[in-house]
């Protein structure tokens, strides 16, 4: 790819909020997804210095994504049941804004591409569909926030769509029992991973919200908790698959 073509792609994406052509929606989706990921990275890296409540940051981010995606508030709120906790509300708003702006379409396309990347000179996938699914289910622990439920609410639809694509990649019909097991297991694993990474608690949260009653410096127990959550997510996914799967299926 030449420098000129790269510049054209960047310019096309940046100008997508002002375009109405056929490819504008996907470009707006790319732009909103990049903004969302960028803000998450900044929050994670600078959380010790950011004094603004994370809910405020995410609600402002949702508004920015709504403007870029040309989403109306009534479209965003249609059929949405809000959780009374503001963190969940912020996550749901982000999810709605990303969905209307096309961010999830871009996310699934990117993850599907990643699953198909192979070792050069061979047909052996580097991660494959299963590898990408494992990373996706553990994203709340890999990218810890003060409240993991925010990320769960924001990306749950993306995880569901990827789980559906995962089932299709194995030749399963979405109405089949095997596909339902696959989708249920991945979504449940993601939710448990996000909920387990949330604080405060007697131990504190891995997002650095505090160490609870242990009285340790912030972050001291985060690695041990993260390891436990990663292991428990895999166990939970396996148990959910066994429970959901019909007897004899």
Residues 6 and 96 in one domain: yes
Q: Which of 45-54, 97-106, 116-125, 176-185 has the lowest mean pLDDT?
A: 45-54
Residue 239 has pLDDT above 70, yes or no: yes
Place of tokens 């920015």: 64
Among residues 21, 107, 31, 109, the alpha carbon closest in space to that of 66 is found at: 31
Residues 132 and 247 in one domain: yes
Residues 139 and 245 in one domain: yes
Residues 190-203: what's their mean pLDDT? 65
Residues 242 and 164 in one domain: yes
Residues 93 and 160 in one domain: no
Residues 133 and 236 in one domain: yes
Residues 77 and 38 in one domain: yes
Predicted confidence (pLDDT) per residue in 16-63, tens digit: 777 777 778 788 888 888 888 888 888 778 777 766 666 677 778 888
Instruction: State the pLDDT at residue 247.
Output: 42
Residues 176 and 78 in one domain: no
Predicted confidence (pLDDT) per residue in 130-181, tens digit: 888 888 888 877 777 666 667 777 788 888 888 888 888 888 888 888 888 8
Q: Would residue 123 count as lying in a domain? A: no
Where does residue 73 rank: exposed (0-12), middle (13-18), buried (19+ CB within 10 A)? exposed
Instruction: State the pLDDT at residue 83.
Output: 46
Q: Would residue 248 count as lying in a domain? A: yes
Residues 85 and 135 in one domain: no
Q: Would residue 117 count as lying in a domain? A: no
Q: Would residue 119 count as lying in a domain? A: no
Q: Cβ atoms within 10 A of the Cβ of 189, count?
A: 27
Q: Would residue 133 count as lying in a domain? A: yes
Instruction: State the pLDDT at residue 203.
Output: 47
Q: Would residue 109 count as lying in a domain? A: no
Cα 118 to Cα 98: distance, rounded to the nearest angstrom? 29
Per-residue pLDDT band for 94 (boundaries 50, 70, 90) equals confident
Q: Which of 63, 82, 101 represents a domain boundary (last residue)? A: 101
Instruction: State the pLDDT at residue 205.
Output: 53
Q: Which of 84, 101, 118 represents a domain boundary (last residue)? A: 101
Residues 235 and 146 in one domain: yes
Higher per-residue confidence, 96 vs 33:
33
Predicted confidence (pLDDT) per residue in 200-222, tens digit: 444 445 555 444 555 666 566 66
Residue 249 has pLDDT above 50, yes or no: no
Q: Would residue 116 count as lying in a domain? A: no
Residues 62 and 165 in one domain: no
Q: How many domains does the chain have?
A: 2
Q: Would residue 114 count as lying in a domain? A: no
Q: Which of 57, 83, 101 represents a domain boundary (last residue)? A: 101
Predicted confidence (pLDDT) per residue in 62-86, tens digit: 888 878 877 766 666 554 444 445 6
Domain span at residue 65?
1-101
Per-residue pLDDT band for 193 (boundaries 50, 70, 90) equals confident
Residues 80 and 192 in one domain: no
């Amino acid at each position: 790819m030449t420098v000129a073509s790269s510049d054209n792609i960047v310019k096309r994406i940046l100008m997508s909020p002002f375009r109405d052509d056929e490819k504008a929606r996907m470009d707006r989706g790319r732009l909103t997804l990049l903004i969302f990921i960028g803000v998450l990275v900044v929050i994670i890296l600078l959380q010790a210095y950011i004094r603004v409540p994370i809910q405020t940051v995410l609600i402002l981010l949702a508004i920015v994504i709504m403007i870029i995606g040309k989403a109306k508030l009534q479209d965003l709120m249609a059929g949405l049941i809000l959780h009374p906790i503001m963190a969940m509300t912020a996550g749901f708003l982000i999810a709605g804004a990303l969905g209307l702006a096309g961010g999830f379409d871009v996310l699934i396309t990117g993850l599907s591409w990643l699953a198909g990347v192979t070792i050069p000179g061979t047909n052996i996938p580097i991660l494959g569909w299963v590898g990408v699914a494992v990373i996706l289910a553990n994203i709340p622990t890999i990218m810890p926030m003060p409240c993991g439920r925010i990320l769960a609410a924001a990306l749950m639809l993306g995880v569901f769509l990827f789980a559906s694509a995962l089932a299709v990649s194995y030749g399963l019909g979405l109405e089949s029992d095997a596909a339902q097991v696959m989708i249920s297991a991945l979504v449940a694993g993601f939710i448990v991973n996000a909920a387990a990474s949330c604080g405060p608690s007697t131990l504190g949260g891995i997002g650095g919200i505090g160490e609870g009653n242990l009285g340790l410096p912030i972050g001291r127990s985060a690695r041990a908790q993260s390891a436990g959550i990663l292991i428990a997510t895999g166990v939970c996914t396996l148990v959910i698959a066994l429970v959901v799967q019909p007897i004899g299926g």
